[in-house]
Amino acid sequence: MFKHILVPLDGSKLAEAAVPVAASLAQTLNAPVTLLHIIEQDAPQEIHKEHHITQADEASAYLEQVAKRGFPAGVNVDTHVHTAAVKDVPASIVEHAITEFQPDLIVMCTHGRGGVRDLLYGSIAQQVVAQGLTPLLLIKPDNEIPTTFKLENILVPLDIGPAHDASLPMTERLATVYKSSVYLLTVIPTFSTIAGETAATGNLLPATTSAMLDIDVETAEEDLLVHLAELKRAGLQVTAEVARGDPATEIVNISEKLQADMIVLTTHRKAGAAAFWARSVAPNVVRRAHTPILLIPLEEKKG
């Protein structure tokens, strides 16, 4: 599954919230880790109200320090500083991931407090998942930076159709090694919460749209029964539910109710304004949930 983990760090304590998670995964899965710092062109003096590392030698010393204090003995940790200043940090992270390190997973923190700028352009983390194809685990610390990581409950929202089943193999592996419980969830909109083209159709053909939503519920129930049986055969403790309402809202609410330790989501790689106008579920969940979120990008079909 995850054989190499990449952890981008900017030098702030907030970004270091990704370290305990990466350390746990690396130790549990016996995966090497690369800590990465990108020197940003015209960088601000502060980031997250802390000193922003802008010099290569300072960055190297910082990454070495994090490697020593943040990871247990036996975990293979490398460090890398991209010394040529770049203007587009997300693009540089993706480029390193694709052309140099080829990790199976990127772990990073997102704070979601960028206001209008995040809405229009997407946070750095959202841009990384939008530009790349590497799974991205987003850590969302609140007021207190976590020092440990547990994975007792995993929430897996699934859409109808096989494309979104890409989250299940990773979920099965994680749940097996961490002995986690798995909660499968499919959310079918109600007539009042449908969006986009479906909403426009619904206004013209309300009875037909309501009937199609009811059919979607039946299809979702059948799909979940299949997935439930497969995961139970793998020896996992699994529960499944079909909920009704706005998908992002229901996912966030149920994750809080379950006290989920991770949400595993597939995403169509939309970030910023494109995701806002398309009302994509994954970016909306990222903005609103406090739970670590594993985003699995779906490769766009051509033609």
Residue 134 structure tokens:
């590497």
Whether the pLDDT of residue 163 is over 70: the answer is: no
pLDDT attached to residue 277? 44
Query: pLDDT-derived band of residue 204, with 50, 70 and 90 as boundaries?
Result: low
Q: Which residues have a Cβ under 8 Å from the Cβ of 241 and sit 6 or more positions away?
A: 183, 184, 185, 186, 224, 254
- pTM flag (> 0.95): no
**pLDDT tens by residue, 6-38:** 999 988 888 899 999 999 999 999 999 999 999
Q: Which residues have a Cβ under 8 Å from the Cβ of 58 and sit 6 or more positions away?
A: none
Whether the pLDDT of residue 115 is over 50: the answer is: no
CATH placement of domain 5-139: 3.40.50.620
**Which residue ranges make up each domain of the chain?**
5-139, 153-297
pLDDT attached to residue 121? 43
- Say how far apart CA 187 and CA 244 lie, in whole Å: 5
pLDDT attached to residue 180? 97
Query: pLDDT-derived band of residue 272, with 50, 70 and 90 as boundaries?
Result: low
Mean predicted confidence (pLDDT) in 97-120: 71
Greater confidence (10 vs 227) lies with: 227
Query: pLDDT-derived band of residue 178, with 50, 70 and 90 as boundaries?
Result: very high
CB distance 243 to 157 below 8 Å = no
Mean pLDDT score of the chain? 84
pLDDT attached to residue 23? 96
Q: Where is mean pLDDT largest: 38-47, 87-96, 139-148?
A: 87-96
Query: pLDDT-derived band of residue 288, with 50, 70 and 90 as boundaries?
Result: confident
pLDDT attached to residue 143? 61
CB distance 72 to 27 below 8 Å = yes
pLDDT attached to residue 195? 66
Whether the pLDDT of residue 154 is over 50: the answer is: yes
Q: Where is mean pLDDT largest: 91-95, 104-108, 180-184?
A: 180-184
- Say how far apart CA 56 and CA 61 lie, in whole Å: 9
Q: Is the dihedral of CA 82, 112, 152, 134 positive or negative?
A: negative
pLDDT attached to residue 90? 82
The fraction of the chain above a pLDDT of 90, given in percent, is 48
**pLDDT tens by residue, 44-79:** 776 667 777 888 999 999 999 999 999 999 999 999
CATH 3.40.50.620 fits 153-297, yes or no: yes
5-139 matches 153-297 in fold: yes
- Say how far apart CA 285 and CA 195 lie, in whole Å: 16
* 38: enclosing H helix or E strand: strand 33-40
Whether the pLDDT of residue 132 is over 80: the answer is: no
| Residue 107 β-bridge partners | 137
pLDDT attached to residue 110? 78
pLDDT attached to residue 146? 73
